[in-house]
Amino acid sequence: MPTRSVARKGARPLVPPALAATPSPVAKEPIGTVKVFDFFAGCGGASCGFREAGMEIAFALDWDSDAADTYSANFPSTMLVQDDIRNVSADDIYTLVDDCRPGFVLFCGCAPCQPFSQQNTIHPDDDDRVHLLSHFTEFVQRCLPDVVFLENVPGLQSFSDRLGPFGDFVCALEADGYHVDHRPIRLMRYGIPQTRRRLVLLASRHGPIELPARTNGPGTPKECYETVREWIGDLPRIEAGEQHSSMPNHQAARLSPRNLERIRSTPEGGGHASWPEHLKLECHARTSGYTDVYGRMHWDRPASALTTRCISYSNGRYGHPEQDRAISIREAACLQTFPRDFAFRGSSVAMARQIGNAVPVRLASIMGRHITSHLRRNLRQETDK
């Protein structure tokens, strides 16, 4: 794994003061290969999609050791720094970006979404992860990349009645001359087999930019949404607690005898409402919520949102449509549109966390191609002036 020293805050910057005061110029060279700096990279979902789109992954940063092991296994030539973003100097990031000039640079900043999720039990004022986006903002302001991509939960946009970290981020971008577009999107409308909603932002220093047009659903080139069957229907059968002998990461969690009885009593697309009385839980009788827990997926619909517990039968609609088990690690990765040769590292719990936290690969691939087209189009316009 390539390594390079990245100074902690308070250390002597690697960039001379005179140079540090000069912002990076807007790239004017032929577009070539866009260089990606992936902050909060996780296991590499965004990097994988941008690589599919023809970009070069120049730098990645993440603090999680399991995610870093997965990332380095799949991106052996990328410089990976395993550290907290709060320990990294903006001047050192500037130095790395300056090494990529002339040319186009993309910053990807998909900060941890848990502080802004509806499932978060920690009050935002007490969660230090809320301020991670402000550290990414410092890097953007210092380095002025050509394009910025951000993906997070829609709650990032509205978790506070104050301006909040997202509003501050957008204001900072606009103050530095970026054109910004952002909105919540439904993943299934971009060819990803999930109903999950995400907030996506694109910002460019090269003229107005909009999010790409939807690819799936009514009024699009493909009117049908991608389904669970299309993405995992051909994977070999395994039992609960089994790991397939030849397909990497195709392993399913064990189920207790009681949960095996429960899933056997659940039809495709069904849930705990179909169980006989002796299998039901008291909490399900007391509330109309929790309709997805202990549920099976539908074969011919998109999956529900995959979370960090996406291989746990009791934590969502993660039961296989017909086999008596929860979906495997490989199946969860497929539903996040990872290629089947993408190798995950760590315990089962760690791999599920990486997959649930990842940017869907296809989303990043679509955004990457859209960004490249935007840069080519606007470079021609800038050259003609």
Residue 251 main-chain phi, psi, to 5 deg: -140, 140
* Residue 306: partners with Cβ closer than 8 Å, 6 or more residues away: 194, 196, 318, 332, 335, 336, 355, 356
Q: Is 113 a catalytic residue?
A: yes
| Three-state secondary structure call for residue 320 | coil
Cis ω for the linkage preceding 360 (within 30 of 0): no
b/e map 177-193, b = 16+ CB within 10 Å: ebbbebeebbbbbbbbb
Considering the candidates 43, 108, 110, 113, report the single residue annotated as catalytic.
113
Length of the chain counted residue by residue: 385
Pairing mode, if any, of strands 79-82 and 56-62?
A: parallel
Q: Please list the residues that pair with 37 across neighbouring strands.
A: 59, 107
Record the tokens describing residue 221, joined without a space: 């080139």
Pairing mode, if any, of strands 56-62 and 35-39?
A: parallel
Tokens 């790409």 found at:
212
Start-to-end CA span in the chain (Å): 44
| Three-state secondary structure call for residue 195 | coil
Query: What CA–CA distance (Å, rounded) separates 340 from 326?
Result: 19
Active-site amino acid positions: 113
